[in-house]
Amino acid sequence: MKAQECSARSWGLSLQAKMFLVVASTILSAIICCGVWMHALLSDVLASQTDARAKALSSYIATRSVDLYLTNDLLALSDLLEDAVSDNEDVVYAFIENDGGRVVVESGLGKTISRELIDQNSPQLPRTVMLRIPSS
C-alpha cells in the first residue's frame, strides 16, 4: 500500500498525466535526434557537392586557359575568369598563378585578395584541383 501511495504522490500527477509526459518526451527526443542526424547528413552532402562543383569548375578553367597562357594572352585569360565568376553566383574571385606562386591574372580589376589569405587557402591535395603552369 505504501508503494502505491508513494507513486500516487510523486509530482502530484495522475497516472494519465505521467504517461503523457513519458510519451511526449520520447517523441521530442526522437525529433531532436532526427534533426541532428539530418543536419549532419545534409552538411556532408553539401560539402561533397561543393567540392565536386569546385573541381569541375577548376578543371574547366584549367583546360581553357592552357593555350591562352602559353600564348601570353592575358586579356583572354582575364575574360575567361570573368566569365567563370559571372556564370557561377557562388564564385566571387578566381585567379591563375604560375609555378612561382605569382598571380598571373585575376578576376575583377578592383578586387584584391591579400597574400596572407591566398597562403591560408592553399590547396590540400588530393581534394583540390589546381593548375600550375611553369613560367617561361
More confident residue, 6 or 76: 76
Write out pLDDT tens, residues 93-129.
888 888 777 888 888 755 555 666 566 565 554 444 5
> Measuring CA to CA, which residue among 126, 136, 131, 134 is closest to residue 63?
131
Looking at residue 127, its pLDDT comes to: 46
98: left (phi over 0), alpha (psi -120 to 50) or beta: beta
**CA-to-CA dists, residue 134 to 5, 95, 100, 131, angstroms:** 86, 15, 8, 10
Q: Residue ranges per domain, the chain?
A: 2-120
Q: What is the pLDDT of residue 121?
A: 60
pLDDT per residue over 42-73, tens digit each? 999 999 998 898 889 888 998 998 888 888 88
Residue 82: what are its φ and ψ, rounded to 5°? -60, -40
Q: Is 98 helix (H, G, I), strand (E, B) or coil?
A: strand
β-partners of residue 105 are: 96
Q: Which of 76-80, 106-110, 130-134 has the lowest mean pLDDT?
A: 130-134
pLDDT score, position 12 = 79
Residue 42: predicted pLDDT? 94
* CA-to-CA separations, 16 to 5, 20, 23, in angstroms, rounded: 16, 6, 11
Residue 18, pLDDT above cutoff 80: yes
More confidently predicted of 25 and 98:
25
Distance CA 81, CA 5 (A): 79
What is the pLDDT, as a whole number, of residue 89? 82
